[in-house]
Chains A and B, each alone.
Chain A
């Protein structure tokens, strides 16, 4: 393996399945009787091609950054697909759901895009990226509209995207409709400098502990929460441990004369 194609080959061939999952896009379910062009995508030479056309986000060395260890592979190119904005039709029950939500919001004097930034359909799951100002209205519509009826709140979890400047902290809500047997995911992103999201405790009482946990772990402040206190960590803890800039900690362990570094200092290949 030599030349610039080498490293791409080694690291690009890991996407072992067709372009569907490799691209992370999966816009619509494959039509019955796949066209020859689609079948082409499964040829070994085409595997992962789409991902390799995605923008390169990082080059150089894999492993721990900022240590004297330079023995790792140095020609890494990490590709990452741009954020998806799925076009209509979304497929499955997603169009119906979006229409119902759109008309429900219209009745309240809101446009669909006033409340929803972006719709992502990926791997058979629907994600609505909601503007934080409109989160409560959207949640109320999702809960009460007879065509939607998302009665059950399955929790909110935070994700800290360190490199997503201006929208570092994401709160991801999962809702379940028992009436229609459907699921939907809401995602709200806020900047690290202004981590405020309206609390959903008034709409879904079960979000109480989940919002406390997300505050505890990520520092997202849920405005209007009745008692936003730490829930997992001790009350006097400093910092929010699930954030990416919070170290894992750990000490080296000696075993038979060799020192094994703590997990966060070990070489990794991301």
Chain B
């Protein structure tokens, strides 16, 4: 074997003799790698080396592993390997009640938790046949938190993209705006991520006092911060040089590879489920679907920025609608379906010993209504039953079509839940986008897909 690899160092191990030299990339060592690649090329023209990038590489958006075959600096072959963040979310959901399922699926794609929850809840509601009985106020709040989540998710894609290209100011500027949106989500749901806020039948909690004012204040500052980002990035020659014409994927390839979301819209097709198959009342909001026909990483960046503006526009309409409905009152304007056998009975309230069921609810079930007590007990121990069947509910997530395929056997727990995650589809297109290009272009290409491994591996 050693005869066929004349420049293998003396005393090469058996593995090296059999597979050639093994390089492991761990970030910030491109110089060494390129030198090694050049060395290989100099000594043996056209020799290919296989580089293992990840799963612990800082530029792969989590634990994505890429197996690269390089010829010099040219990527000949790239094979993404996934599964490093597989946590069995779908299997675990089969062992919890329908309501508890929300707590699991929210952790799938952790940058867009509220979309995971909505897709799952819409599917459960379709199975229950209660789609048209969800309170109006709950639908508006769902749209509101989803659009705020879209802002944080897109910024969570754009800001690290800058960092991966070596521009830490893009990261800090993006994070500055993102933090404010996350603060709002924290105010509304109690958490920055993994909210478990949207539940089958409505949402867990009405907006807290001060939420509308907080969102309005955010609306006033966000456009300026967004403009700062535009000023910083849009015409930046380095950013353009690294992104324009990189990671080209046209409409035909998107169709063949099942690619949706901003990547599809960067090919000129204005496909947005919020417009084409509206849910949660999106048909009644006024917003545009940004498109361009650049088909590259720069085009996707522009679309994400434009979508943030549209999200703010939708969120503003939500705030106006909620404000027009007046002060929240659980009996007058509920946020959970009025069905004692499905709707989660208690709203949380802050007592001297922390968060717990509201004192009014405790007084009601303990002192006034035997039926309410029975319903409370049954819902919390046993959960509700969902008629047998299957449903597929899709929402337009920041990354594309996110859907939940939910199967019920008529019991109190899901029989099977499958999350159709857009990142899972998009990573399949890495080979189509990057093979034949430079190894350095791989970084903006992956970043322009904005994959989140929590969603890919579930």
A positions within 8 Å CB-CB of B: 11, 13-18, 20-24, 26, 51, 78-81, 122-125, 127, 151-155, 157, 159-160, 172, 174, 176, 178, 181, 183, 185, 204-206, 208-210, 230-234, 241-242, 248, 263-264, 266, 268-270
Contact = CB atoms under 8 A, between A and B. Distances in A.
A13 B425 CA distance: 41
B416 A248 contact: no
Given A122-B389, A206-B428, A231-B83, A178 B271 contact: yes
Interface string B446-458: 0000000000011
Given A20-B129, A51-B387, A174-B420, A205 B256 contact: yes
A123 B126 contact: yes
Interface string B296-313: 000000000000000000
Contacts of B401: 154, 176
Given A155-B424, A157-B405, 19 more contacts: A15-B387, A16-B128, A17-B129, A26-B129, A154-B420, A155-B405, A159-B415, A159-B416, A160-B416, A174-B392, A178-B255, A181-B276, A206-B425, A231-B83, A232-B457, A248-B88, A248-B95, A268-B413, A269-B382
Interface string B367-397: 0000000000000011111011111101000
B92 interface: yes
B256 A125 contact: no
B258 A153 contact: yes
Interface in B396-449: 401, 403, 405, 407, 409-413, 415-416, 418, 420, 424-425, 427-428
Nearest to B378: A14
Interface string B130-142: 1001000000000
Given A21-B387, A241-B91, A270-B412, A152 B407 contact: no
Contacts of B83: 230-234
9 contacts: A14-B385, A17-B133, A21-B130, A123-B129, A152-B255, A154-B258, A185-B392, A248-B92, A269-B411
Nearest to A78: B410
Nearest to A182: B277
> Which 10 pairs between the two chains have the least Cβ-Cβ distance?
A21-B129, A270-B411, A206-B258, A157-B418, A16-B341, A263-B95, A14-B385, A269-B382, A232-B86, A232-B83
Contacts of B94: 248
B389, B413, B415 — which one has the most chain A CB atoms within 10 A of its CB?
A: B389
Contacts of B416: 157, 159-160, 242
Given A152-B255, A157-B405, A248-B91, A181 B277 contact: yes
Q: Give the interface size class of chain B.
A: 35 or more
B149 interface: no
Contacts of B381: 269
Given A14-B385, A159-B407, A159-B415, A125 B428 contact: no
Contact of B391 (A125, A181, A205, A268): A125
A62 B130 CA distance: 26
B171 to A, nearest CB: 30
B95 A81 contact: no
Interface string B260-281: 1000000001010000110000
B127 interface: yes
A234 B420 CA distance: 21
A24 B95 contact: no
B234 interface: no
A204 B258 contact: yes
Nearest to A269: B382
A174 B403 contact: yes
Contact of B88 (A14, A241, A266): A241
Contacts of A178: 255, 269, 271
B342 interface: yes
Nearest to B410: A80
Given A16-B341, A24-B389, A209 B424 contact: yes
A23 B387 CA distance: 7
A154 B390 CA distance: 16
Contact of B410 (A13, A79, A123): A79
B180 interface: no
A208 B82 CA distance: 14
Nearest to B276: A181
A81 B389 CA distance: 9
A47 B277 CA distance: 31
A20 B387 CA distance: 10
A117 to B, nearest CB: 16
A100 B307 CA distance: 37
Contacts of B260: 152
A176 B255 CA distance: 10
Contact of A125 (B342, B392, B425): B392
A172 B387 contact: no
B69 to A, nearest CB: 16
Contacts of A15: 385, 387
Contacts of A268: 95, 411-413
B389 A123 contact: yes
A48 B92 CA distance: 29
A16 B342 contact: yes
B226 to A, nearest CB: 30
B126 A242 contact: no
B189 to A, nearest CB: 25
Contacts of A160: 416
Given A155-B425, A204-B258, A205-B256, A123 B415 contact: no
